[in-house]
């Protein structure tokens, strides 16, 4: 697969990841046990804010992989 195609597909995958991650984060943030505790909210938002990076790293690595040399 050409690098341009990988970058297109990777960009789409990253956009989907960010949208799904944020929707799930908003859903969890509204739960009563989290909404009633300031400390738990702070911990949750730090984890949720940085947590999307772990699933995004393999996508970015795949996107930036160089093309194979033609035989």
Q: What is the pLDDT of residues 7-33, one digit of tens each?
A: 999 999 999 999 999 999 889 888 888
Q: How far apart are the first and last CA of the chain?
A: 15
What residues contact residue 67 under an 8 Å CB cut-off, 6+ apart? 2, 3
Read off the pTM.
0.79
User: What total of structural domains would you count in the chain?
Assistant: 1
**Does 34 or 47 have the greater pLDDT score?**
47
Residue 25 belongs to some domain of the structure: yes
Please report which confidence band the pLDDT of residue 61 belongs to, taking 50, 70 and 90 as the band edges: very high
Residue 69 belongs to some domain of the structure: no
Residue 13 belongs to some domain of the structure: yes
């Amino acid at each position: 697969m050409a690098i341009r195609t990988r970058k297109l597909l990777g960009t789409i995958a990253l956009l989907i990841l960010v949208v799904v991650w944020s929707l799930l984060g908003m859903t969890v943030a509204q739960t009563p046990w989290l909404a009633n505790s300031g400390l738990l909210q702070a911990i949750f938002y730090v984890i949720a804010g940085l947590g999307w990076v772990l699933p995004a790293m393999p996508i970015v690595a795949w996107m930036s992989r160089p093309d194979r040399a033609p035989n």
